[in-house]
Amino acid sequence: MTIGTSPPNTAGTRMRRTSGGLASVLRLRELPVTLALIALVALTYLANPLFLGQQGMKDLLLNATIVIILAVGQAMVIITRNVDLSVGSILGIVAFSTGTLFVAVPGIPIVLIFLAGMALGALLGSVNGFLVTVAKVPSLVITLGTLYIYRGLNNAWAGGTQYFAGDRPDSFGALSVDTIAGFPLITLIAIIVVIIVAIFMASTRPGRDLYAIGSDPEAAKLFGIPVTRRVLLAFLSNGVLAGLAGVLYASRFNSVGATTGTGLEFDIIAAAVVGGVAIFGGSGTVVGAAIGALLLTTITSALTAIRVDKFWQQAIVGLLILAAIVIDRIARIRTAKKLRHSEARDV
């Protein structure tokens, strides 16, 4: 791909998509995952109508909320052709710090809790971003290292201490209980996050830059995109979102301690990949990642609802990830063929 055409071209496709008909809808990268989600929900509903009852819906959304926020942040990083393995550790450390703050500062306003959690997440995320961009070491290695370091710091800080829901004010816990129009408050927060980040990625200059960097880092640099600053921004945003997820985790779950959020990293990357975010960057949307997260968390509930042995759940998730990769590859081959044809016509 040449430098000159990359960012305007993607913008062009987007415009055509809004004006085009059925054909452009069929080309959407989010389509397979959306169809899979609809099919899953519909089939499960037919088998067990309680699945979409008021409580069932609420559980579905609550389970998905935290994964959605993390997947959106991870998608931003993956789109720049990087990856952040340390999100589970960031979530853990922020969740524990939230528990600590409530005990250390009685009566602290909840807004302040959110700001503190996101600031801590931003700090940890920017350490990742700084090491990746300044030291020029691949993000897979750096964030594997910080995964251990952040987890170790969390362990050192928490030790055997655990904070329980009783240590936190009721109004904070109520965020995951109260609903507006059937949506739990924390899910609404997640939806707002998805909308803001989606607009940022789709229609602002820095957002488009992230795609350009992911599709060809060298070309992006020659084109004059501040690659270092943009990649740093992606890691920082991911840190902020992981921090937010950590605060919401403390609201949603009873206990936070040294091992909170362990082993989340691959689930989150999987959600983004299932949602159509290409692992080597440059394509995919955060909306897709959010739907991917919703699909993966819904499978668990769906399997329980139709009384499939719960042990099958993880194997099915694995198959879904592989299916998403294969679908992505087929779509890519078809696009390449179409581009070749249209270029041949132009000549």
Residues that bind other proteins (CB under 8 A): 81, 83, 85, 131, 135-138, 140-142, 144-153, 155-156, 159, 217-218, 263, 266, 269-270, 273, 279-280, 309, 311-319, 321-322, 325-326, 329
For residues 243 and 281, which CB has a smaller minimum distance to other proteins in the complex? 281
Tokens of 28: 């959407």
Q: Look up tokens 């791909």; give the residue.
A: 1
State in angstroms the smallest separation of the CB of 55 from other proteins.
26
For residues 106 and 263, which CB has a smaller minimum distance to other proteins in the complex? 263
For residues 113 and 242, which CB has a smaller minimum distance to other proteins in the complex? 242
State in angstroms the smallest separation of the CB of 23 from other proteins.
27
State in angstroms the smallest separation of the CB of 9 from other proteins.
20
Residues 98 and 243: beta-carbon distance below 8 Å: no
> What one-character-per-residue DSSP string does 245-273 give?
HHHHHHHHSS-B-TTTTTT-HHHHHHHHH
**Distance (Å, whole) CA 98 – CA 245:** 11
In our burial notation (b when 16+ CB lie closer than 10 A, e otherwise), range 3-38 reads beebbeebeeeeeeeeeeeeeeeebbbbebbbebbe
The count of other CB atoms within 10 Å of the CB of residue 165 is: 17
Number of H helices, E strands in the chain: 15, 2
179 phi and psi, to 5 degrees? -130, 155
Q: Burial level of 329, CB count in 10 A (0-12/13-18/19+)?
A: exposed
State in angstroms the smallest separation of the CB of 328 from other proteins.
9
Give the residue ranges of DSSP H helices in 80-109.
87-104
State in angstroms the smallest separation of the CB of 30 from other proteins.
17
For residues 270 and 302, which CB has a smaller minimum distance to other proteins in the complex? 270
Calculate Rg over the CA atoms of the chain. 21
State in angstroms the smallest separation of the CB of 282 from other proteins.
12
3-state DSSP assignment of residue 279: coil
For residues 184 and 282, which CB has a smaller minimum distance to other proteins in the complex? 282
Residues 215 and 67: beta-carbon distance below 8 Å: no
For residues 38 and 137, which CB has a smaller minimum distance to other proteins in the complex? 137
For residues 195 and 279, which CB has a smaller minimum distance to other proteins in the complex? 279
For residues 124 and 186, which CB has a smaller minimum distance to other proteins in the complex? 124
Q: Which amino acid is at 6?
A: S
State in angstroms the smallest separation of the CB of 83 from other proteins.
8
State in angstroms the smallest separation of the CB of 338 from other proteins.
20
